């Protein structure tokens, strides 16, 4: 039998841990600038950046006390569900979907990926409240507004919502603007990284409060789920006991029947024996009489 108490303790600890930390998780196809975006937030080179498929494992880094940035590998169009990444998205306080403007509008595979992320949540409203989009490489396209507009209208059409926060950033401008040898504050501002960072920071308090409510709901859900499994197991045990009882009763009545048969046939044998006994006495008597008669006749 499973150790349900152990399961519950594990679930409760996980929920408690979730409620005490804030997790910001990025998502997007490979090479979209996910790791670069988180490095910009951190103001340091923490996540490896390369112009090829680079991030292969989920990597959390503490950005501020209790606030984690979780860098994920690129979503692949034809890849099946990745359990680890899915768990990270389900536990996220904010999912940051990253798209690089150099690639033009959102690709169908990215729209599908957003729908897949949405399907990880029971409540679509909850999902959209914890979703935002960041377009990177702002400096690479002069007409980026149209690309963003078209992308958002596609998301609206295919995913059913587009009223989430959108940032159009440049990681390269930010890096250039924050060069300690030659800082360019205007370039930093233009990169929209500070605005994105402020948006996240402004939400910390809200997410912390929300986490307390979610924690209560989740602990209740965990309790209910463990209880319902326990009830199922208890009913199964009762059914097994009933089945065993029936089997024992069947066996008992079978043996009692057999015993009755044996007793009856023994009684019959005794009666037969008694009858034979009477006959024997009779024959004995007859013999004695004959013997008497015979001896009288002879002498
Ligand atoms: N021009 C420009 N290039 C960028 C920007 N952000 C990222 N890049 C470049 O895009 C390439 C990929 O960046 P990454 O941050 O590694 O992208 P990723 O999404 O983490 O990639 P994977 O980990 O492979 O999924 C690198 O060459 C970056 O320098 C940006 O804002 N502007
Ligand atoms: Mg990466």
Domain positions in the chain are: 4-221
Residue 167: phi, psi to the nearest 5? -125, 140
Nearest to 107 by CA among 26, 30, 170: 30
Across the strands, what pairs with 137? none
Within a 10 A sphere around the Cβ of 26, how many other Cβ atoms?
Answer: 25
User: What integer pLDDT is reported at residue 110 of this predicted model?
Assistant: 97
- pLDDT tens for the chain, residues 1 to 299: 678 888 888 888 888 887 889 999 999 999 999 999 999 999 999 999 987 777 778 889 999 999 999 999 988 745 555 888 899 999 999 999 999 999 999 999 999 999 999 999 999 999 999 999 999 999 998 889 999 999 999 999 999 999 999 999 999 999 999 999 999 999 999 999 999 999 999 999 999 999 888 888 888 888 898 899 899 989 999 999 999 999 999 999 999 999 999 889 888 888 888 888 888 889 889 988 988 888 877 66
Fold of 4-221: Rossmann fold (3.40.50)
| Closest residue to atom 30 of ligand 1, CA basis | 137
> Which residue's CA is the nearest one to ligand 1's atom 1?
137
pLDDT at position 298 is 67
What pLDDT is attached to residue 80? 54
Q: Whose CA is nearest to atom 11 of ligand 1?
A: 51
Which residues are CB-neighbours of 101 under 8 A, at least 6 positions away?
135, 136, 137, 138, 140, 141, 144, 147, 148, 168
Index of the ligand 1 atom closest to the CA of residue 32: 19
pLDDT of residue 135: 98
Q: In this predicted structure, what is the pLDDT of residue 242?
A: 95
The answer, yes or no, to whether any atom of ligand 1 lies below 6 A from the CB of 36, is yes
- CA 179 – CA 277 distance, rounded (Å): 126
Q: 33 CA distance to ligand 1 centroid (A)?
A: 3
């Amino acid at each position: 039998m499973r150790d349900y108490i152990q399961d519950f303790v594990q679930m409760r600890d996980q929920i408690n841990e979730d409620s005490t930390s804030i997790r910001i998780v990025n998502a997007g196809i490979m090479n979209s600038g996910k790791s670069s975006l988180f490095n910009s937030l951190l103001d340091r080179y923490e996540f490896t950046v390369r112009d090829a498929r680079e991030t292969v494992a989920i990597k959390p880094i503490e950005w501020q006390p209790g606030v984690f940035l979780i860098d994920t590998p690129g979503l692949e169009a034809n890849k099946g569900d990745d359990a680890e990444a899915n768990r990270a998205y389900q536990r996220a306080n904010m999912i940051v979907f990253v798209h690089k403007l150099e690639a033009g509008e959102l690709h169908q595979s990215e729209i599908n990926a957003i729908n897949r992320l949405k399907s990880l949540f029971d409540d679509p409203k909850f999902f959209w409240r914890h979703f935002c989009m960041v377009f990177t490489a702002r400096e690479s396209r002069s007409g980026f507004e149209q690309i963003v507009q078209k992308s958002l209208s596609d998301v609206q059409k295919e995913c059913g919502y587009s009223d989430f926060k959108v940032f159009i950033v440049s990681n390269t401008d930010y890096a250039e603007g924050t060069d300690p040898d030659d800082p360019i504050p205007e370039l930093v501002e233009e990169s929209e990284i500070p605005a994105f960072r402020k948006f996240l920071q402004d939400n910390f308090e809200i997410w912390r409060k929300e986490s307390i409510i979610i924690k209560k709901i989740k602990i209740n859900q965990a309790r209910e789920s463990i209880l319902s499994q326990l009830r199922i197991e208890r009913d199964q045990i009762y059914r097994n006991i009933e089945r065993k009882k029936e089997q024992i009763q069947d066996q008992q009545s079978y043996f009692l029947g057999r015993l009755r048969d044996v007793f009856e046939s023994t009684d019959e044998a005794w009666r037969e024996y008694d009858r034979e006994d009477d006959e024997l006495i009779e024959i004995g008597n007859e013999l004695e009489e004959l013997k008497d008669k015979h001896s009288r006749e002879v002498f």
